[in-house]
Amino acid sequence: NCQVKLFQPLNIKNVTLKNRLIVAPMCIFSTHSDGKPNSLHLIHYGNLALRGAGLIIVEATAVQEIGRITPYDLGLWSDEQIAPFKALVENMHFQGSLAGIQLAHAGRKASGPNELLRNQKGMSTIEEGGWPEKIVAPSPIPVDNDWATPNELNKEQIKQLINDFANAARRANEAGFDVVEIHAAHGYLIHQFLSPITNKRTDEYGGSFENRIRLCLEVIEGIKTQWPAEKPLFIRFSCTDFIENGWNIQETVKLCTIIKKMGIDVVDCSAGALDGRLQNLPPLVPGYQVPYAHEVKKQNPDMLVTAVGLITNGKQAEEILQNDYADAITVGRSFLRDSSTVLNWADELGVDIEWPCQYSRARISKN
Ligand code: FNR
């Protein structure tokens, strides 16, 4: 009965988010190069899980070893990786949180720099655990001069890729995840197929809108063969490339109509990051990506939509929901700055939510 929409539950298929704040997938680049979550992941996600978000989406997790953004990314390309993910999910569930996972392939942006080493540019070399000569993409166009030219995927490899997305979804289910999100944003592989800037193919995977979206649709179909129909399936798009003649909001809206019919439940509306040199970014003002969520929702009223990007306080988040621009709010960096973001925004909006009992005596309003 809460009047504040941000703290109203949201039902999606067989799960209920206790509020409409979702922790965005954010890489912490901290595996031991084996793709497996370790104690740091248990601490990081466990800490977030204690603190009341409606849903936490675990960072971009690679469906192929060569699909990692860096050598330190999580991965679900092998059955051996299921057990440590199961431990991670159990830890999150034990703290009362729902657990989502973002399945990803970095394509031409794989083998990237170890973000933990400051000022590193370009790719990770073989000596640094990278695989610069093995990166793949729809077309052999490098990110920029600091990056290797990717290998153009052939049909056989595309089939394998779809299979690997499907198998990663099966493993995510076996690990106990509640939600899978497909990473089709930020210039990674699926986005590279969607955008005519990075996709110059002349076969059925390139050229027309119908051809450029083909891989995305086939990945969804593949995942649906392995991911239970009763569990929510999310997708994240860059709604525009911010590049003239690039992927744009009209194409995103059109694609959303198609994938809604295929069973996608939620679209997370991000933007950009396809090509840092070509993109013409708008001023990065608070909520600058919200209009994309609004447009997707307006044109696809049945689709659940989340807004993301520089949403940094409860009032701003609540306004977005009250205006019906989105159904939920995805928040990234605020959670890295302060894992108590949900508790703080509840206080800000005057909503009395449950605190982890271990910390309840720290609550200023309840002293
Ligand atoms: C990100 N972002 C991101 N996005 C994504 O889809 N998958 C990912 O794994 C990551 N990783 C990642 C790591 C770090 C350290 C940051 C800061 C960001 C983007 C993130 O999910 C979000 O969309 C942006 O940070 C914008 O939202 P905020 O931070 O303004 O709330």
For atom 17 of ligand 1, the residue with the nearest CA is 333
Nearest CA residue ID for atom 14, ligand 1: 26
Digit-coded pLDDT (tens) for 298-322: 999 999 999 999 999 999 999 999 9
How high does pLDDT run on average in the chain? Answer: 96
- Which pLDDT belongs to residue 365? 63
Instruction: Please give the DSSP secondary-structure letter assigned to residue 288.
Output: T
Cβ within 8 Å of residue 355, ≥6 positions away: 52, 343, 363, 366
Structure tokens at 107: 């394509």
Please say if the pLDDT value at position 367 is more than 60. no
Q: CB burial class (10 A; 0-12, 13-18, 19+) of residue 215? A: buried
For residue 300, give both structure tokens. Answer: 């696809």
- The set of residues, in sequence order, having a beta carbon less than 8 Å from that of 48 and lying 6+ positions away, is 23, 56, 97, 335, 339
**pLDDT value, residue 205:** 98
Q: Report CA-CA distances (Å) from 43 to 17, 91, 158, 182, 295.
A: 22, 9, 36, 24, 37
Average pLDDT of the segment spanning 148-167: 98
Among protein residues, the one with the nearest Cα to ligand 1's atom 11 is 26
Per-residue pLDDT, 122: 83
DSSP 8-state assignment for residue 210 = H
Return the best residue to mutate from 27, 48, 338 for the ligand 1 pocket (most ligand atoms within 8 A of CB).
Answer: 27
List all residues 6 or more positions away from 235 whose beta carbon is below 8 Å from its beta carbon: 181, 182, 184, 220, 259, 264, 266, 267, 268
Query: With a 6 A CB cut-off, is 108 part of the ligand 1 pocket?
Result: no
In the predicted model, what is the mean pLDDT of residues 290-295? Answer: 98
| The pLDDT value given to residue 136 | 98
Examine the predicted complex and report whether its ipTM is higher than 0.90. Answer: yes
Q: How many whole angstroms separate alpha carbon 356 and alpha carbon 140?
A: 50
Please give the pLDDT value at position 70. 96
Residue 2, pLDDT > 90, answer no
The pLDDT assigned to 366 comes to 55
pLDDT digits 0-9 by tens, 248-287: 999 999 999 999 999 999 999 999 999 999 999 999 999 9
Q: Could you give the CA distance from residue 336 to residue 356 in angstroms, rounded to a whole number? A: 19
